[in-house]
A and B are shown apart, each in its own frame.
Chain A
Amino acid sequence: MAVKSAVGEGTTTGIRGFRRALLRLPIRKIILVILSVVLLAGLVVGTRANLRAGIFTFEDYRSFAIDGISQGSLYAVIAVGYTLVYGILFLINFAHGEVFMAGAFTSFFMARTLSETGFLDRNPVVSVVILLIVSMVVSTITAVLLERIAYRRLRGAPRLIPLITAIGASLFLQNTFRGLYGAATRGYPIPQSLRGRWDIFGVPILKTQTLVIVGAAILMSGLFLFIERSKTGRAMRAVGEDKEIASLMGIDVDRVIVQTFAIGGMLAGAAGVLWAMVFQQVDFFMGFIPGIKAFTAAVLGGIGNIVGAALGGLLLGIFEALAPNLFIPPSVPSPNQLKDAIAFTILVLILIFRPGGILGSSEEEKA
């Protein structure tokens, strides 16, 4: 016989118990799970169709993967800048894309001079180092000025205010550089010795792509060592954990924040030169879309987490390159036009199951 409570608290056995359990399942979770299953099924079907059609060879997919890793490395370096600033200020620095652009575009003028005098071709290593220095200096100055002028006053303000300021700063920087350098797209010269491909363990990789991957790896490891081992790095981590306690411990919080922006700026500047070498084009608007994508990558990896940002950047790059030619069935015309759509769809899928990002907390975001 079913146990019935006089007060009607509900049975835990029998038909009524089953219905109760059913109603307790959150509808939202069910819909999300169904959506995810459908999308995953779509990806699997598309992949099988592509592999069976055999349009691309293994070498082609390998080439896509390398394109993805190279692109992803660039996103990773920029994403770290976003995540560093968020970690200590809980501010999404939307102007970071423009910090990236400032260094890249300014270094273009140096590159053009070097190229016209022939120095670029004769001494490629020295030239690239010069360009990196120029770009990093300009980006760092831009980032530090940004912090000083736009963000410092708004430290205690509700989170929406600095966000809007960041968007405004982004627009301001875009148009300032447009006024300074002109609206035309410029072709970025690369040294003659960086044209073409290398054969690395039998795999042909573009020389500029190799430079990007190696450069990004060096930058990221350098950053990681710095954050983990150096005193400044420790101070940054402390401020990131708790600003008030850190200042009580004798850390100059203002200085640490400036240093964080500066490091983010340096990374963005380096990424700027690497980007310009791969895509050989600079213009005043070039930071906007990479900025948004890098921010998304940072969120994907877990915002506030440096390793997460790097991981997110790499994943986004790989999805962008591989997904249109792997997941979209061959019957769909011009799959590369859907590159952004498919990359962000996969991102959404991941965020459904890990709302805090891959390396972030797996709980739902608390307000």
Chain B
Amino acid sequence: MFDKKRFSIISLLAVLVLVGAGCARDSGGGGAAGGGGEECPDSEFGCVEVASGDPITLGTLLVISGPNASLGLDSQYGVQIAADMRGDVLGHEIEFDHQDDGCLPEGGQTGAQALVSDPAIVAVIGTSCSSAGVPAAEITSEKGYLMVSPSNTAPDLTDPATHQPFYARTAHNDNIQGAAMAQFAAENRKATTAATIHDGSPYAQGLAEVFATVFEEQYGGQVTTEEAVQVGDKDFKPVLTSIASKSPDYLYYPVFVPEGAGITQQARQTSGLSDTDLAGSDGMLTPDFVEAAGEENTSGMFLSGPDLQFTNSFYEDEFLPAYKEDYGKPASVFHAHAFDATNMIFDAIEEVAIETEDGGLLIPRTELKDAFFDTSGYEGIIGTLTCNEDGDCNPQTTIAVNEVTPAGAFEPAFTATLKLSETE
């Protein structure tokens, strides 16, 4: 009896201590005024305190492992080059905390939570994949961490109804990419019927839907089948047989490398699809895809992606040589977007940071976000960038449709420059 009473008292105390600890951490946040005696103007999300001599830390949340690693690593290298070329921001060195989004919602969630639990992180460059972006944007916006994506393209992420306030992107909006592909299919390939396959992710589903809508409404085509598979599926023969039964002219499957490779291989062996054009999007625009699918299968298919024929010489003369020297040939296309995103963040930091008396910095989070979203007419590698209130910093883009050569190289076969307001 005595034991039981002691036990219950101790456990009650333990519970109270845990509850107290939990509550205390919530109200703490990053708003301590300490440091050099300056006041932080952001009362909601607080300021990042950078002591004198300390580096400014940015987070990255990109897919750096697994079958889609080439996409994230390529962006990460672009970020690193931006930091190397910049040297320092307001006298402080630049450091990174790299996290892995795994191109999955779980990865985006875990990585974002890891980053927002560190009050020293000023802003985040990420995510690579839109499927990771959806949960990550919610978590970072909840804590007031600015997040800029170099390659999220799903329309939902900047749709006024679902946009998270601290999220922005320098990548194009897929309302543009889907429309460009539909234009290519209808005008260049003279396709009158098309079928689509997506994988349930926001990226693929968004692209397939935009393509279907534009193909039908703007070009009068007919979408015979809209199908879906799951990430991780290996057997696509039933889906392809189902699609082949309607004999479409064009098959568009804007998915990622593993599923895209499998669909390509098996489509080439489906007798009903021998006359059908196969097409994908920027998730497959990497040599890893050709390697996984086999050159004889990818030859002659079409892949859309951002147009890398930039009009400025900085990309050719300075960026690419620096990239090739440190990291070899680029394996994806979003390094330029990552470079521009990082520099825009640096510019915003320089604009809003408050220098404290002892040589440190206070960076208010809300003001940083506002300064970033106010970016207008910024001359980046990818073009002139102006951010709108929904987070799209690249509302006018040129999309290229590349043909895959028998040797596995990507040759631009068509470009379309579209503005976000023109598309639906």
Contacts and interface: CB of A to CB of B under 8 A. Distances in A.
A binds B: yes
Interface of A: 55-57, 60, 63-64, 67, 71, 183-187, 189, 195-197, 204, 206, 279-281, 283, 286, 289, 320-321, 324-325, 333-334, 336-337, 339-340
B277 interface: no
Contacts of B232: 289
Contacts of B65: 183
Given A320-B235, A334-B226, A184 B271 contact: no
B234 A63 contact: no
B279 to A, nearest CB: 18
A277 to B, nearest CB: 11
A55 B271 CA distance: 18
B291 interface: yes
Interface size class of B (residues with CB under 8 A): 20 to 34
Return the 9 tightest CB-CB contacts between A and B, nearest first.
Answer: A334-B228, A337-B228, A187-B294, A185-B292, A336-B239, A185-B67, A67-B237, A280-B265, A279-B234
Nearest to B230: A337
Contact of B245 (A56, A71, A281, A336): A56
Contacts, number: 92
A336 B291 contact: no
Nearest to A290: B234
B269 interface: yes
Interface in B53-71: 65-67, 69
A281 B234 contact: yes
Contacts of B265: 187, 279-281
B157 to A, nearest CB: 22
B412 interface: no
B235 A279 contact: yes
B241 A187 contact: no
A64 B239 CA distance: 10
B229 A186 contact: no
Nearest to B296: A195
A321 B239 CA distance: 9
Given A187-B294, A279-B262, A340 B238 contact: no
B257 A67 contact: no
B253 to A, nearest CB: 12
Nearest to A275: B234
A56 B242 contact: yes
B258 interface: yes
A60 B241 contact: yes
Contact of B238 (A57, A189, A280, A339): A339
Residue picked from A281, A289, A324, most chain B C-beta under 10 Å: A281
A67 B261 contact: no
A206 B230 CA distance: 24
B227 interface: yes
Contacts of A186: 291-292
A71 B242 contact: no
Contact of A281 (B69, B258, B269): B258
B383 interface: no
B235 A63 contact: no
Given A56-B245, A185-B257, A281-B258, A333 B226 contact: yes
Given A60-B241, A337-B229, A187 B235 contact: no
A64 B269 CA distance: 14
B241 A189 contact: no
25 contacts: A56-B245, A60-B241, A64-B238, A67-B235, A71-B235, A183-B67, A184-B67, A184-B69, A184-B291, A185-B261, A187-B293, A196-B269, A197-B271, A204-B271, A279-B234, A280-B262, A281-B258, A283-B67, A289-B232, A320-B235, A320-B238, A325-B242, A336-B227, A336-B238, A339-B233
Q: Which of A183, A206, A337 has the most CB of B within 10 A?
A: A337
A55 B291 CA distance: 36
B135 interface: no
